[in-house]
């Protein structure tokens, strides 16, 4: 009896070893968070092909009287590969009250031209000022028409509020983001006359809550990757909220892998894959989540994407994260199930943005 069992096992193992290796799954990836100009569109598509990304969302679309038409024209040169999110004309704020209505009208124009959504940068709350010179708050009522119009038009709002918490701390050697702040001292908000991180995050939640019929994509993992429990609560509280993973795998990978895996599974229908890939028209002109003193190499790009896939797809422990300048630590993978990976990498974005499913 045991002899027959062992013989059957040997035959089965031999069959397995002689079969062709199973090819990796094709996840039909959509990167919802990239930045590039019209002249870099072709180069961006080359990088997409190299790293297995089918569609990229360009968040640097500009405004109707600016570069939006050129960005849309560049996207049309690569059918089915690039979507463009428009930006707002913040100069309207210097003209006095009513600027929100003017921006809303512009947004409708952007939609007619072909923009798929709108991107709000972190300068809202940290840099943009009105006609009095005062900072415009993230939840400034004057901007309500913009967000209402976005909901009416079915244009998702990708919104960047705040920045890493470390950017509000002294930019000294004991700051965990010291290397990054040394390369970009202007990114430090320490002792500057701007709202605190907490004030900005509270304003973001008020903004999302005020427009339940508008879809928000809170970029950089809900703008709070240091506090996944708060992101979890925000997703529970606001069904109109999505988040992306752009440029925050280094921070996500520091947290307990089991807890992060549970969060991704719990909210598997509202987390979008993004990189914050920035592409210039010249060779070597890349941003891989962040930048340092020297341009990234081809090897850096390979590491960036390989480490990103490794975080989402494996249970590996203690490996180098995608963006070394963002912190001198290692990360642990969360080994998501294949059905969740399909949603994260592309399924959720295709549904949200009205793209054909991978099966179509």
Q: Does position 3 have pLDDT exceeding 70, yes or no?
A: no
pLDDT tens-digit map of 26-40: 899 999 999 999 999
pLDDT tens-digit map of 107-129: 999 999 999 999 999 999 999 99
% residues pLDDT > 70 (the chain): 92
Contact 341, 272 (CB under 8 A): no
Q: Does position 208 have pLDDT exceeding 50, yes or no?
A: yes
- State the pLDDT at residue 14: 36
- Describe the chain by its helix, strand, coil percentages, rounded to 5: 45, 15, 40
The enclosing H or E element of 29 equals: strand 29-36
- State the pLDDT at residue 357: 78
**Tokens coding 191:** 């002792």
**Where is average pLDDT lowest: 24-38, 87-101, 138-152, 307-321?**
24-38
Tracing tokens 């006609």 back to the chain, one arrives at: 131
The sheet carrying 277-279 orders its strands as 271-272, 241-244, 216-218, 157-159, 117-120, 82-86, 53-58, 29-36, 277-279, 286-288
CATH superfamily of 25-353: Metal-dependent hydrolases (3.20.20.140)
**Residue 181, CB-side half-sphere exposure with 13 Å CA sphere:** 20
- State the pLDDT at residue 6: 35
How much is the CA Rg of the chain, to the nearest whole Å?
A: 22
Largest CA distance in the chain: 90
Contact 154, 224 (CB under 8 A): no
Q: Does position 23 have pLDDT exceeding 70, yes or no?
A: no
Q: Does position 21 have pLDDT exceeding 80, yes or no?
A: no
Distance (Å, whole) CA 269 – CA 349: 9
- State the pLDDT at residue 131: 97
Write down the domain spans for the chain: 25-353
What number of other Cβ atoms are within 10 A of residue 315's Cβ? 13
Q: Does position 268 have pLDDT exceeding 50, yes or no?
A: yes
- State the pLDDT at residue 16: 39
Closest listed residue to residue 267, CA positions, set 237, 238, 232, 240: 232
Strands 271-272 and 277-279: unpaired
Q: Does position 155 have pLDDT exceeding 50, yes or no?
A: yes
Contact 307, 322 (CB under 8 A): yes
Average pLDDT value over all residues in the chain: 93
- State the pLDDT at residue 337: 98
């Amino acid at each position: 009896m045991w002899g027959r069992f062992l013989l059957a096992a040997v035959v089965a193992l031999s069959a397995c070893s002689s079969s062709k290796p199973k090819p990796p799954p094709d996840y039909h990836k959509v990167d919802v968070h990239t930045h590039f100009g019209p002249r870099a569109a072709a180069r961006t598509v080359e990088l997409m092909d190299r790293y297995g990304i089918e569609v990229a969302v360009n968040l640097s679309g500009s405004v109707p009287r600016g570069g939006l038409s050129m960005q849309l024209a560049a996207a049309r040169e690569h059918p089915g590969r690039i979507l463009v999110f428009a930006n707002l004309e913040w100069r309207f704020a210097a003209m006095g009250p009513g600027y929100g209505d003017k921006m809303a009208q512009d947004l409708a124009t952007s939609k007619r031209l072909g923009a798929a959504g709108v991107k709000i940068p972190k300068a809202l709350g940290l840099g943009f000022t009105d006609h009095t010179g005062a900072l415009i708050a993230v939840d400034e009522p004057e901007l309500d028409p913009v967000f209402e119009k976005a909901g009416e038009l079915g244009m998702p709002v990708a919104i960047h509020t705040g920045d890493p918490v470390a950017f509000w701390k002294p930019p000294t050697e004991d700051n965990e983001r010291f290397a990054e702040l040394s390369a970009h001292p202007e990114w430090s908000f320490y002792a500057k006359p701007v709202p605190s991180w907490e004030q900005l995050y509270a304003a973001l939640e008020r903004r999302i809550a005020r427009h339940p019929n508008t879809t928000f994509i809170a970029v950089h993992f809900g703008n709070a990757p240091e506090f996944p429990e708060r992101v979890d609560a925000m997703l529970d509280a606001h069904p109109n909220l999505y988040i992306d993973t752009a440029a925050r795998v280094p921070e996500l990978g520091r947290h307990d892998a089991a807890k992060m895996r549970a969060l991704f599974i719990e909210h598997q229908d509202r987390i979008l894959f993004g990189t914050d890939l920035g592409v210039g028209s010249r060779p070597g002109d890349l941003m891989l989540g962040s930048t340092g003193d020297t341009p990234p190499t081809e090897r850096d790009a390979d590491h960036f994407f390989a480490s990103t896939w490794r975080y989402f797809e494996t249970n590996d422990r203690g490996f180098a994260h995608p963006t070394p300048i963002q912190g001198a630590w290692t990360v642990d993978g969360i080994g998501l199930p294949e059905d969740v990976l399909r949603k994260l990498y592309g399924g959720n974005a295709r549904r949200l943005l009205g793209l054909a499913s991978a099966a179509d």
